[in-house]
């Protein structure tokens, strides 16, 4: 009884932070709900898009997240409302946006706070209800004297999660060296973090909200190289780009640790094209640049490694 009474008295924000969501559910604040008729056409399109999205995915967790987002899109269309996901990882963003494109009467916007953001929130709604981009991402500056106690991305993330916030409520973290970091979060948690976050590692910090335009980010650093290969297979180009043997890369592919454009690949023979992004767990990312066919019928390929 005491536990039940304590839960009843808990603040709505505390319940938001600590209470687990039901299995398969995505937290979606409701804004200005206007009831509308259910569109059977949207439901059919959503079901078809779900099936199509699932066929090419080997990541069951990502597949379930995409299904949930499509269900959210259905509800948004039926209610002529706008719903928002939590912060999502790049593979889920890619699959969800591709699937939503197949739905009629649905508009979707992915926002992470700045152009190069990796973790983003997707807002879905009926076009009549989404006349402007929703304000679903807030920026915080976490400042302190980190000159003698430098802290990593993991230190800042750990301090934020230590307040009780779950990972999906936090977007990208932009390190600022001795000054601290800038963090993208769910706007509902701004006041909570400002009043709660006091330390990162051993360093005392202050936390303040800043405009998104005040974010300090730089384009990712890259290093380019060239290789000449007999084919454009992923095992040939990625082994050259990451400086590892094809045998090693083949084992990584078999283990599901290699992705092309955020989608896992399970075969060495997948063909790449200019603009494709190859990511290998623990090794980073590689972009395929210009491809030129040589006189001998081979391929001279520019490989752009993200540092």
Q: Give the three-class secondary structure for 31.
A: strand
Q: Give the three-class secondary structure for 227.
A: strand
pLDDT truncated to tens, each residue of the chain (307 aa)? 444 433 333 343 444 333 333 333 333 333 222 333 344 544 544 455 455 444 444 457 778 889 999 999 989 988 989 999 999 988 899 889 988 988 888 999 999 999 889 999 999 998 888 888 889 999 999 999 999 889 998 999 999 999 999 999 999 999 998 999 999 999 999 999 999 999 999 999 999 999 999 999 887 789 999 999 999 999 999 999 999 999 999 999 999 999 998 888 988 889 999 999 999 988 989 999 999 999 999 999 999 998 8
User: For residue 235, what is the enclosing H or E element?
Assistant: helix 234-242
Question: Where are the extended beta strands (E) located within the chain?
Answer: 82-88, 107-111, 120-125, 138-143, 170-175, 180-185, 199-200, 203-204, 206-210, 222-229, 258-260, 263-264, 277-280, 284-293, 299-306
| Residue 297 CB partners (closer than 8 Å, separation 6+) | none
pLDDT of residue 105: 84
Distances (CA, A) of 142 to 54, 150, 174, 208, 247: 39, 13, 10, 7, 44
Domains, the chain, ordered by start: 26-112+120-125 (no CATH), 138-214 (3.30.70.330), 222-306 (3.10.290.10)
Question: From the centroid of its chain, how far is CA 165?
Answer: 17
- Token pair for 255: 């283990």
> Angle CA(156)–CA(157)–CA(162) in degrees, nearest 5?
100
pLDDT of residue 9: 35
pLDDT of residue 47: 54
């Amino acid at each position: 009884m005491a536990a039940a009474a304590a839960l009843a008295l808990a603040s709505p924000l505390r319940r938001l932070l600590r209470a687990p969501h039901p299995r398969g559910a995505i937290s979606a604040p409701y804004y200005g709900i206007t009831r509308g008729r259910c569109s059977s056409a949207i439901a059919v399109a959503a079901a078809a898009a779900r099936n199509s999205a699932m066929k090419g995915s080997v990541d069951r967790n990502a597949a379930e997240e995409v299904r949930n987002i499509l269900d959210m899109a259905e509800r948004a269309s039926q209610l002529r409302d706008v719903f928002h996901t939590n912060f999502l990882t790049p593979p889920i963003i890619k699959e969800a946006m591709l699937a939503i494109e197949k739905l009629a009467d649905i508009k979707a916007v992915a926002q992470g706070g700045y152009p190069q953001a990796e973790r983003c929130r997707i807002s879905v709604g009926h076009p009549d209800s989404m006349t402007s981009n929703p304000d679903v991402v807030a920026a915080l500056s976490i400042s302190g004297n980190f000159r003698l106690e430098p802290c990593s991305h993991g230190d800042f993330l750990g301090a934020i999660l230590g307040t009780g916030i779950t990972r999906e409520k936090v977007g990208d973290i932009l390190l600022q060296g001795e000054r601290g970091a800038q963090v993208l979060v769910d706007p509902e948690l701004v006041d909570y973090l400002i009043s709660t976050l006091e330390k990162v590692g051993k360093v005392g910090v202050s936390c303040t909200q800043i405009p998104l335009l005040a974010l300090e980010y730089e384009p990712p650093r890259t290093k380019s190289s060239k290789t000449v290969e007999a084919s454009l297979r992923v095992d040939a180009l990625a082994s050259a780009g990451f400086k590892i043997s094809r045998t090693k890369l083949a084992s990584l592919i078999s283990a599901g640790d290699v992705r092309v454009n955020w989608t896992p690949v399970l075969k060495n023979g997948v063909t790449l094209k200019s603009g494709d992004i190859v990511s290998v767990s623990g090794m980073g990312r590689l972009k395929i640049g210009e491809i030129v066919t040589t006189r001998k019928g081979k391929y001279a390929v520019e490989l752009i490694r993200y540092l």
